[in-house]
Amino acid sequence: MWWTHRSGFDTSEVGQPRGMARDRSTSHRGGSLSIAADFANLAAIRAHVVDTARETGAPADAVEALELAVSELATNVIQHDGGDVLTVVLEADDTGWTLDVSNADGLTTVEAPRRPDPSQRSGRGLFLVDALMDRVELFTVGGTQHLRCVKLSS
């Protein structure tokens, strides 16, 4: 797994909040969803990623990995960061799928997470994402932290 923290990305690399809009641009394969950062919206967030992954030709194992990753990352953002809007962007290219989750402002760094203590009731999210994804990055755009995960094609 490759974990990095970068800042100064060009804002064209991530979806910008657009209320509760779903954007399907013809210039790339994928889409974005901006939605209230609320636990009640986790099912809609997962459905967006599953639908978009399938529309871009992701195999079943990649769809499942992306669904679990977005669920864990969105849950962390909602639980720890307190932002009003969460934006999720999933794009595909010839190498695989890139998943961006906005408003991860509570994270200051991402390092390869350690195996959680079995007695802990929580704290497994980033460990699971690390196991499922090929690369995870934290970066800043316009003062907002974003988590980016990459799932490479098999």
The whole-number pLDDT of residue 151 equals 95
Q: What is the pTM of this model?
A: 0.76
Second CATH level (architecture) for the domain 2-152: 2-Layer Sandwich (3.30)
Kindly give the parts of the chain with pLDDT less than 50.
1-27
Hey, where are the domains in the chain? 2-152
Per-state percent for the chain, helix, strand, coil, to nearest 5: 30, 30, 35
Look at the block and give the residue holding tokens 């669904």. 67
Q: Of 41, 82, 85, 71, nearest to 149 (Cα)?
A: 71
pLDDT in tens, 1-30: 444 433 333 333 333 333 333 444 433 589
pLDDT in tens, 127-137: 788 888 999 88
The whole-number pLDDT of residue 112 equals 58
The whole-number pLDDT of residue 76 equals 84
Q: Cα dihedral angle (53, 98, 127, 132), rounded to 10 degrees? A: 50
